[in-house]
Structure 1
Amino acid sequence: MTSSYRPTAFEVAACWLPGLVPADPAPAATRRTTLRRTGEPLEAIKGAVRRAAAGRPVAVTFSGGRDSSAVLAVATAVAREDGAPDPVPVTFRYPGVAEADESAWQESVVRHLGLATWRRIVVGGGENDLLGEGARESLLRRGLLFPATMHVKDAMLRELRGHAVLTGEGGDEVFGDRRSRALLRVARGQGRVGTPRRAALASLLPGPGRRWREHAATARSTAALTWLTRGTTARLADEIARDAAAEPLSYARGLRWLRRRRASRVFLDTFGQVAAEHDVALAHPLLDDGFLGALGARHPWGFADRTAGMRAVFGTLLPDAVCARSSKASFNRAYLGAATRDFAVRWGGDGVDPALVDVGGLRAAWLSGFPPGPTSLLLQQAWLASVGAEAAR
């Protein structure tokens, strides 16, 4: 039974866990010798894959995106260096959800790596819906979990019992727009006069100034969350800005800061517990401490853009088109489908706090053509409340 963190009412409404966990103690001498011990970042992530495998057959959750492609390529290289069986990519396909279709990219990567075995699972009939049959069973057994997608993992994990399963989690954060990026671009002469240079100067602001700037930017984004009350969006913007303002300037230290974000820590812990119920050893090589240490030691100020980071670490293993791609799939409708709409139509507004949530706005969001992912915890909380109300009758 998973005994994971239960989100608060505000966290359910926000679909986010703000805050940072205490930093793990790491002696300065250990940090200084990280690169010498682990070598290049590519060798460090190979070490992470080897530790995760530990004699088990290896599977990689593979969407065809840059991050899962990188992990699959590294796992393949490790297997062939060690004389072990190739890893098996495991891909979910969603008929009727065009924006989730990455089949062309998937086929390109598998062909490039020369993999003979590839498990493609066609998901239909609400199997992946956050209120589908599997999700409802999990909700009744485990209660609310963060993130909501944890309740649709059992079917995959049952199929992979006894495996080491690698994911591409963390790539967006590790290779994304860290605080040092704007400064690095200007230092390398890549920043035009105007916005890039203003962003570089803003990255040097002291904490209160950065928090004010982050709050202004975040408030514009949270205004689009029309199912939340103004007080909720204001609090969410403030919480996100506070955490963002704590990010260190250097890329190397920023990578350690990433590991301290509470939402990430709870997600990884919960996913690991769900996997362990099925005798699956789950690992996220892009978030491995050894890899992050080597990456920060070799590239202390990071990369001018995401493509540069992918090329620097994985360019010898993947087609350049994969490293450089800018498109990204969307899976919202794969998770929030017919079962979500059916529930929204008959929902009476129970199970959510009206001080935090606009009930009419939430129902409209669920009934829209593209239900927003950040409503997922509210959806499951409302469903649990409806089940309790029916049982009480």
Structure 2
Amino acid sequence: MDAGSAQSTPRYFRLSAFEIATSWVHGSLSAPPPPETAATPREALDDALRPALLRAPCFVSFSGGRDSSAILAAATALARREGHADPVPVTEIYPDVPDADEADWQRLVVEHLGLTEWVRLPIRGESDLLGDGARTSLLRRGVLWPPPFHVKDRLFETVTGGSILTGEGGDEVIGPRRTTPVTLLVRKRRRPRPELLAATAAALAPGPVRAFRVRRQMSGDAQQPWLRPAVARRHRRLLAADEGSEPLAWDRSLWWVRHRRAVDAVIANYSALGAEFDVAVGHPLLDTGFLAALTRFGGRWGFAGRTALMRILFADVLPDEILRRSSKASFDRAYMGEPTRAFARDWDGSGVDAALVDPETLRAGWLSDRPSTLSGTLLQQAWLAAQPSPPRGAA
């Protein structure tokens, strides 16, 4: 993280019409080899955390989940070891969304770390993808991905002038990779249960076979029924090609994850948003130095899974009940509530590309009890198109 980058001109990642319709950024960037390093993963993680601690006040976007808890704990340990001010957890709280309640987990972590400062931001209707804050952001910035970037202004206003660390990338970096079932069976000598044997066979299958299986599975899921058939087929084909290209070796797989275009888009948009508020944004779990050290440490086999790696990396700073936690909050209802339904009820179907999506199926989804956030980019595109003035900075 370069503190000076917070002064640069914001440059948001812009989606194509196809990417707006599918709400995904397909493909990978060309990846140089990982840099040589002799650092341990925790030493490299400290190197990724340190610039944020030096640009005080340092905040950590903290939900209570494993990834943000790990970043908060590691940053706190480093700050106390080197004499920096403690990082400050900043938490968005959703009182009206029970599925998003993480209060018990949050308190467990904060009390374990002995932190005395904790910023909690109650979020109600303003988290909706068409709430007042999102509409203001859309008019200023245009359509962004992922759509919740439009409801982050309050968070960034809170940390203006400082730095903020996130747990972005935890699922991809610390979670299981393609080779994990092979590692469990061959290296860890796990009992060869049918499900483990099946997962191992799937992992060892050639790329085209794995891509075919992904396409077949997606065809049965119908997660995005608003896509026109040809668009859905292309979307499935591209997603399957991405999944089929994952290397088998754990170290190469981890480096491959960091260079997916979707990851790059998220990082770019965080940086641009941070620049607007004079905030240096860091994602330590996606830091190239940390990933280089982790790939060197894990080698081709990697680890037995997410909990095993969490324990290796963070057992000295977090209680085991956090490290082995398997539950996760859901924020769908926080993002698509009454403002979404109100717009859908009066929407005339314009503003989206009808060659790519079916407007009536979209409307039905937005009016349903559980609208899919995968339609969030289309929702915001449709609303924006209905406004009298084009957004500034949308080009």
TM bracket (short chain): over 0.9
Q: CA deviation at 1:291?
A: 1.2
Aligned to 2:31: 23
Q: Distance in 1 between matches of 2:214 and 2:372?
A: 23
Once the two structures are aligned, what percentage of the paired residues are identical?
48
Letter in 2 for 1:254: S
Aligned to 1:386: 386
Deviations 1:234-275 (A, max 9, x none): 211111110111111111111110111111101111111111
Q: RMSD of aligned C-alpha atoms?
A: 1.8
Q: Distance in 2 between matches of 1:191 and 1:177?
A: 18
Aligned to 2:328: 328
Letter in 2 for 1:280: V
Aligned to 1:71: 71
Q: Distance in 2 between matches of 1:234 and 1:390?
A: 32
Aligned to 1:131: 130
- Partner secondary structure for residue 209 of structure 2: helix
Where does structure 1 lack aligned partners over 5 or more consecutive residues? none
Q: Distance in 2 between matches of 1:382 and 1:356?
A: 13
Q: Distance in 2 between matches of 1:348 and 1:139?
A: 20
Matches within 5 A, 1:197-346: 197-221=197-221, 223-300=222-299, 301-346=301-346
Contact 1:89–1:117 (Cα < 8 Å) also in 2: yes
Q: CA deviation at 1:8?
A: 1.4
Deviations 1:304-325 (A, max 9, x none): 2211111111111111001111
Letter in 2 for 1:346: D
- Partner secondary structure for residue 248 of structure 1: coil
Q: CA deviation at 1:224?
A: 2.6
- Partner secondary structure for residue 92 of structure 1: strand
Letter in 1 for 2:132: E
Contact 2:13–2:268 (Cα < 8 Å) also in 1: no
Report which stretch shifted further, 269-278 or 144-153.
144-153
TM-score (norm 1): 0.93
Contact 1:52–1:281 (Cα < 8 Å) also in 2: yes
Letter in 2 for 1:350: S
Q: Distance in 2 between matches of 1:144 and 1:315?
A: 41
Aligned to 1:186: 185
Letter in 1 for 2:356: L
Q: CA deviation at 1:185?
A: 1.2
Q: 1:131 to 1:196 in 2, by over 3 A?
A: same
Aligned to 2:375: 375
- How many pairs were matched up? 381
Deviations 1:182-217 (A, max 9, x none): 111111222534232132123222322222223223
Deviations 1:373-393 (A, max 9, x none): 1011000000011114999xx
Contact 1:251–1:296 (Cα < 8 Å) also in 2: yes
Q: Distance in 2 between matches of 1:42 and 1:23?
A: 23
Q: CA deviation at 1:119?
A: 0.5
Report which stretch shifted further, 139-148 or 105-114.
139-148
- Partner secondary structure for residue 116 of structure 2: coil
